[in-house]
Copies of this chain bind each other. A is one copy, B any other.
Amino acid sequence: MPEPVVTAAVIVIGNEILSGRTKDVNVAYLARQLTALGIVLAEVRMVRDDERAIIAAVNALRAQHDYVFTTGGIGPTHDDITCEAVARAFGLPYRINPEAERILVDFYRDTGRELNEARMRMAHTPEGATLIDNPVSRAPGFRVENVHVLAGIPAVMRAMFESVAPTLKGGRTVKSREVAVLLGEGDVAARLEGLQERYPALEIGSYPFVRDGSFGTTLVLRGTDEAEIDSAAGELCTILRELGGEPESPPAPPAPVG
């Protein structure tokens, strides 16, 4: 029996992302990490610092996916409302977490800065949450059931994800192979569709590029069975030569069209 597909969703929270002030870089990181763990990132939502929007996204996605990861909105200021919104999404009380409090008390004592009321916001979690270690700036993230609440600052988010990664159970790892060719997408499309029909278990993607003024296409074969990918890649190269192209594998990094 094949291993089940394990899926995840990411929720990026913050007005600064949706106003264009800040460019999100967390989705690309999480996409790569989850893929490497054999977890399919099925959906991403980016929402504003708005309690109803956060609750709606958390509740929709935690019901559909094995794992949900949120990024952003867990700091000490009034616009950091993620933690409380997650508590409401689960119908849980939002309280001081004694373990988080101890971490913050130690950290601010050691650094000689004041653990004021605002910073104590970061000691609150939904009741019963499991903390996620933050080796960068100490204030922890947390997990409730399948929802992991991470920081938005990329270095902190990455450190928290690394703390969590060993606890995640992936499915079979997806392998991929890329072949580039100096033919237009429209030139390879029909034969590619036939290849996809012969290999329904593979995901065959086609991405155009322009190099030195010539149209080219990168074909990506993805699947969990390496022998099947090898076989399809062999057929693909034959097809591309028949169409008058010379497959490049591994392809030289193409200049993106954009």
Give chain B nearest CB distance to A227 CB in angstroms: 21
Main secondary structure of the interface of A (DSSP, over half): mixed
User: What residues of B have a CB within 8 angstroms of the CB of A77 in the complex?
Assistant: 185, 188-189, 192-193, 206
A16 CB contact (under 8 Å) in B24, B192, B205: B205
Contact B31 A19 (CB under 8 A): yes
Measured CA separation A27–B18 after assembly (Å): 8
B-contacting 9-mer, from A114-122, A140-148, A234-242: A114-122
- Copy count, this protein chain: 2
Contact A48 B44, beta carbon cutoff 8 Å: no
Partner of A79, one of B41, B157, B186, B204: B204
Q: State how many residues of chain A have any CB contact under 8 Å with chain B.
A: 74
| B contact residues around A118 at 8 Å (CB) | 185-186, 189-190, 193
Q: Does B32 lie within 8 Å of A257, measured CB to CB? A: no
Residues of A within 8 A of B (CB): 12, 15-25, 27-35, 40-49, 53, 75-80, 113-114, 116-119, 121, 153-158, 174, 176, 184-190, 192-193, 196, 203-208, 220, 222, 256-258
